[in-house]
A and B are shown apart, each in its own frame.
Chain A
Amino acid sequence: MKSTKLALLIGTALVASATLAFAQEKGGVINVATVGEPPTLDPMASTADLVGIVSQHIFETLYTFDKDWKPTPLLAAALPEISADGKTYTIKLRSDVKFHDGTELDSKDVVASLERWTKVASRGKQTATTISGIEAVDPLTVKISLNTPYAPLVSLLAFNNSAAIVLPSEKQAEPMTDFVGTGPYQLKERKADQYIQLTRYDAYKSPEGEANGYGGARHQYADEIRFVPVPDPNTRVEAAVSGQYDYVDSLPVESFERVKGSSASDAVMLQPFGWPVFVLNSGNGMTKNLDLRKAIRASLSMEDMMAAAFGTTDFYALDAALYPSQYTWRTDAGTEGAYNIADPEKAGELLKTAGYKGEPLRILTSRQYEFHYKMAQVAAEYLKLAGFTVDLQVVDWATLTQHRADPTLWDIYITHSPFLPEPALIGMMSTKAPGNWDTPARAAAVDAFNAESDPAKRVALWADVQKVIFEEVPFIKIGDFNALSAKAKTLEGVSPAPWPYFWNASIKK
């Protein structure tokens, strides 16, 4: 165990050191093995992580996130000027930025793209309700007017899925037909299920300053980046060990030792990556009852679920808070006595209070993510112990996403999320999300959080939101888990990231 931890530390240190200022070499092709073929290359049209991973090299947003997950300018020249009432955002654009078709970026493109975003993107549509106008003030200035102060706006404009990317004003077709962005790499060829080939865009204008997370300078060391779908996880492991690819995304954690022993690749551990979560159907059926939701929580052993799903604590951590300590949003508010309870007696009492009569508790899960299924199996046993009748429905992911949209078909569904830079991006907090969480307490806490623009006050207000989440149990966080990837020993400049990027990466010859 100690040796594993040591190796992890060394691996992380090696990867971290690789991001330091190396004299990186220009040229070469970076081959990236991905989990599959993205459903689209239009990051506005999808919230899938894979879409964001690939398309962030082609398209750019007004803002992005630095290494501390703070919004930082990308196509914008600076963070926006926000009016005193928090309702007007004035955004200055960088000059001389060119699209891949050679045309120059201006405010008309930004206005057209943001309008498309409010019509096409899930997150854009949600934001649209707060937007009263988007206008071009001059060729390099855009003004967004809001009905009500909405602090998450900049983070929403920075996020890379359901993303507010900027396209040329005359190339706004939906579905997207021209994949023309301002990014450091341009799309050369997509052969579905074979490769997506991106080539360096020579007229790219990088933001200034040191590289900082997704922000700062974007160097184009590699001539090409190729994303190759390798859907079978065992094959991805073998590909990592053999060194066929320069980067292999999303490996099963149990392959860590094998990858570590490779002479061609290093293990890349993103620690922590995200959180598995049980979403409860707060608006319908038996789980509408708060005591019953609390009974579910009281039944569960997070420790056993995480152990079953991820093996050893090298790959997971038990933590009730919705953000780990690496994020400013970290707070323990509301968590006391509300996590890893595994108390069937307490759960039984809550069930009595809830008037539970043995109706089957329908848990929707999928084996597309094996750890979801493993957690579901453990949870089912603990729930039975507490007196629940459990109906574990194991379906494929496409069926799960369809069923969860119908609130009459399920009581719990299992999903996971990376830790998102801004809590407002957490989909489950929306009243339109499948969990149907819509209560006065939610509205009061979330609205206050969204309206506040002062960063320090927002951190305090997030604690209030988390408290309400623990009081009302719309979803149950199971723990923190790490993500494992692999990078070739010859690949430099890649940092562990939830959505890995390769514009600052280079191949050592």
Chain B
Amino acid sequence: MLRYIFQRLMGMIVVMAIVVTIVFVIVRVTPGDPAAVMLGPEATQEDITELRTRLGLDQSLGLQYVYYIGQLLQGDLGQSIFLNQPVTSALAERAEPTFFLTLFSIVIACAIALPIGIYAAYRRGSFVDQAATTLAMLAASIPSFWLGLILIQVFAVRFGWFPVSGYGGPGSSFADRMYHLTLPAIALGVVSSALILRFTRASMLDVLGDDFIRTARAKGLGERKVVMKHALKNALIPILTIIGLTAAVLISGAVVTETVFGLPGVGNLVVSAVLRRDYPVIQGALLVIAALYVLINFAIDMLYLLVDPRVRY
């Protein structure tokens, strides 16, 4: 067990080293120049060259890489070119909206997907099953930004129940910030629910046909107990995996949704950093996102141990 954990940790370090290098190279070879963006449309080539020198962008790629790795080893993700703040603090500021948006969306997605998925599997072939399958397909095909715009038009513009965009002004309360997250969380939750619903249904169908379910029923256990205790517990592994992966995707920044709703989250930060060519922010954000993916995958594997006693490493 400990050996397995050690091996996984070593593997994570290798993955992160590869990610750091690939991101560094891709960011630098992509056309576009942060100095030109910073200085604006009327800047001359002389101005741009001067600013590039000041930012250290005139150094060779190798030297910039060595300097960057040196910084990373000291736990420093660098300084944003545009935001006048360290990358770590820019990311920390963006973590809250993204984290709660993810949480909120996952709760909504699970609230929709789990009961419907379980019921659809239990009543396989029924009207509810067919309707659930069709709706899941529909939800999976809807782009979240489109759903977001529809929600804005209906609930923000027509009824005025929610704000169109933003994350609250200065001094806004936690409740106010969560209120701003409602529509984007619904948009993401509905779209994410499709995949979770399909996995829940499929996984439950697998389990409901197993011998131990027949045995449980033969023992005279009530249907509720059979489905919710025996079947669901055994069907949870793939469901947890898909919920975890969905969370990983969302926490790495629901890029389009955050942009549509003007949320200052990680996705929005990455998009604006890419458009501005804010190299340290792109590198730092992608590094943190990759680390989150790796950690979430690791956490899911560890969770298997708790959920399924047969799993041993």
Q: Which residues of A contact B (CB under 8 A)?
A: 29, 31, 33, 36-37, 39-41, 45-48, 51, 122-123, 125-126, 161-162, 175, 177, 188-195, 197, 226, 228-232, 234-235, 238-239, 241-242, 244, 368, 395-399, 401-403, 405, 415, 417, 427, 430, 432-434
Is the CB–CB distance between B260 and A235 below 8 Å? yes
User: How many inter-chain residue pairs (CB < 8 Å) link A and B?
Assistant: 161
B157 nearest CB neighbor, chain A only: A242
Other than the given A193-B94, A195-B169, A398-B275, 11 more pairs (CB < 8 A) read A37-B83, A123-B42, A125-B46, A192-B90, A197-B169, A226-B169, A229-B262, A235-B165, A238-B157, A244-B165, A402-B33
Looking at B15-23, B264-272, B283-291, the stretch in contact with chain A turns out to be B264-272
Residues on A with beta carbons closer than 8 Å to the beta carbon of B93: 191-192, 194
Contacts of A190 in B (CB 8 A): 84
- Among B109-117, B148-156, B211-219, the one that faces the other chain is B148-156
Partner of B31, one of A51, A189, A395: A395
Query: Is there contact, CB below 8 Å, between B37 and A39?
Result: yes
B283 to chain A, nearest CB (A): 16
Decide if A231 touches B272 in the complex (CB within 8 Å).
yes
B40 touches A47 (CB 8 A): yes
Give 21 pairs: A residue, B residue, CB < 8 Å, sorted on A: A29-B169, A33-B165, A36-B272, A37-B82, A39-B40, A189-B170, A192-B82, A192-B90, A194-B167, A230-B262, A231-B271, A231-B272, A235-B262, A242-B156, A368-B275, A396-B32, A398-B33, A398-B34, A398-B275, A401-B41, A427-B41
* Docked CA distance A230–B93 (Å): 18
The docked-state distance in angstroms from the alpha carbon of A41 to that of B85 is 13
Count class of interface residues, chain B: 35 or more
Q: Residues of A contacting B94 with CB < 8 Å? A: 193
Take A238-B152, A238-B157 as given contacts and tell me if A46 and B268 are in contact as well, using a CB distance cutoff of 8 Å: no
List A contacts of B103 (CB < 8 A): none
- B32 contacts which chain A residues (CB < 8 A)? 396, 398-399, 401-402
Top-9 shortest CB links A-B: A47-B40, A398-B32, A47-B42, A401-B36, A48-B40, A427-B42, A402-B33, A194-B264, A432-B44
Contact residue among A197, A398, A402, A430 (Cβ-Cβ distance under 8 Å from B44) = A430
- Given known A-B contacts A46-B39, A47-B39, A193-B268, A226 and B170 have beta carbons under 8 A apart: yes
CB-defined contacts of B260 to chain A, threshold 8 Å? 232, 234-235
User: Does B85 contact A192, Cβ atoms closer than 8 Å?
Assistant: yes
- Whether the Cβ atoms of B40 and A51 lie closer than 8 Å is yes
Query: Residue B173 at the A interface, CB < 8 A?
Result: no
A18 and B71 alpha carbons, distance in the complex (Å): 55
Q: Which residue of A lies closest to B93 (CB)?
A: A191
- 1/0 per residue, CB under 8 A from A, across B128-162: the answer is 00000000000000000000010011001100100
Expressed in whole angstroms, the Cα–Cα distance for A238 and B264 within the complex equals 18
Chain B: which residue is nearest A425 at the CB level? B42
| Residues in chain B near residue A415, CB distance under 8 A | 41
Name which residue of chain B comes closest to A242, CB basis.
B157
Expressed in whole angstroms, the minimum distance between the Cβ of B58 and any Cβ of chain A is: 14
Q: Are the CB atoms of A231 and B262 closer together than 8 Å?
A: yes
- Nearest chain A CB to B52's CB is how many angstroms away? 10
Give the shortest distance, in Å, between B65 (CB) and chain A (any CB): 21
**B24-57: contact bitstring with A at CB < 8 Å (1 yes, 0 no)?**
0000000111101111111111111000000000
A296 to B: closest C-beta gap in Å = 22
Nearest-Cβ distance from residue A324 to partner chain B, whole angstroms: 21
When the two chains form their complex, are residues B44 and A238 in contact, meaning their CB atoms are under 8 A apart?
Answer: no
Provide the bound-state CA to CA distance between A31 and B37, in Å.
26
Q: Collect the chain B residues with CB atoms within 8 Å of residue A41's CB.
A: 84
A198 to B54, CA, bound (A): 30
Nearest opposing residue in chain A for B163, CB measure: A244
The answer on a CB contact under 8 Å between A191 and B264 is: yes
Most chain B CB neighbours (cut-off 10 Å) among A47, A177, A191, A401? A401
Contact across chains for A244 and B272 when beta carbons are under 8 A apart: no
Are A398 and B276 interface neighbours, CB within 8 A?
yes
Q: Is the CB of B33 within 8 A of A47?
A: no
Q: Is the CB of A39 within 8 A of B38?
A: yes
Q: How far is the CA of A397 from the CA of B37 in the complex (A)?
A: 8
Instruction: Provide the residues of chain A in CB contact with B199, threshold 8 Å.
Output: none
With A37-B272, A175-B84, A244-B164: A434-B42 Cβ-Cβ less than 8 Å: no
**Chain B 270-282 interface mask (CB, 8 Å, partner A; 1/0):** 0110011100000
Say yes or no: B42 contacts A228, CB within 8 Å: no
User: A496 to B306, alpha carbons, bound, how many Å?
Assistant: 64
Give chain B residues whose Cβ lies under 8 Å from the Cβ of A238. Answer: 149, 152-153, 156-157, 164-165
Tell me which of B36, B166, B170 contacts A197 (CB under 8 A).
B170
**How far is the CB of B55 from the nearest CB of chain A, in Å?**
10
Residue B259, interface by CB 8 Å: yes
Distance from B150 Cβ to chain A, minimum over Cβ atoms (Å): 11
Tell me which residues across on chain A come within 8 A of B169, comparing CB atoms: 29, 31, 195, 197, 226, 228
B261 within 8 A of A: yes
Q: Contacts A125-B46, A194-B264, A242-B164; is A398 near B41 (CB within 8 Å)?
A: no
Interface centre among A31, A47, A126, A398 (most CB of B within 10 A): A398
Q: How far is the CB of A171 from chain B (nearest CB, A)?
A: 15
Q: When the two chains form the complex, which single residue of B37, B46, B264 contacts A398, counting CB atoms closer than 8 Å?
A: B37
A417 vs B42: C-alpha distance when bound (angstroms): 10
Q: Which chain A positions have C-beta within 8 A of B85?
A: 192
In this complex, the member of B40, B163, B271 whose beta carbon has the largest number of chain A beta carbons within 10 angstroms is: B40
Q: Contacts of B163 on A, CB cut-off 8 Å?
A: 244
* Cα(A501)–Cα(B169), bound, Å: 20
How many Å from the CB of B142 to the closest CB on chain A?
A: 16
B-chain residues with CB within 8 Å of residue A397 when the two chains form the complex = 37, 275
**CB pair A232 B259 closer than 8 Å:** yes
Whole-angstrom distance between the alpha carbons of A29 and B94 in the complex?
Answer: 24
CB < 8 Å: which of A193, A234, A241, A396 contacts B149? Answer: A234
Bound: A177/B79 CA distance, A: 14
Q: In the complex, what's the smallest C-beta–C-beta distance from A213 to chain B, in angstroms? A: 22
- A401: chain B residues at CB < 8 Å are 32-33, 36-37, 41
Q: Which of A31, A177, A228, A398 contacts B262 (CB 8 A)?
A: A228
Q: How far is the CB of B261 from chain A (nearest CB, A)?
A: 7
Q: Are B277 and A398 in contact (CB under 8 A)?
A: yes
Residues of B within 8 A of A230 (CB): 165-166, 262
Please give the distance in Å from A238's CB to the nearest CB on chain B: 5
Q: Which of A122, A188, A235 lies in contact with B47, CB distance below 8 A?
A: A122
Within the assembled complex, what's the spacing in Å between the Cα atoms of A161 and B39? 10
A175 to B163: give the CA distance in the assembly, Å. 36
Contacting pair A193 B272 (CB below 8 A): yes
- B261–A235 CB distance below 8 A: yes
Question: Which of B43, B82, B269, B272 contacts A122 (CB under 8 A)?
Answer: B43
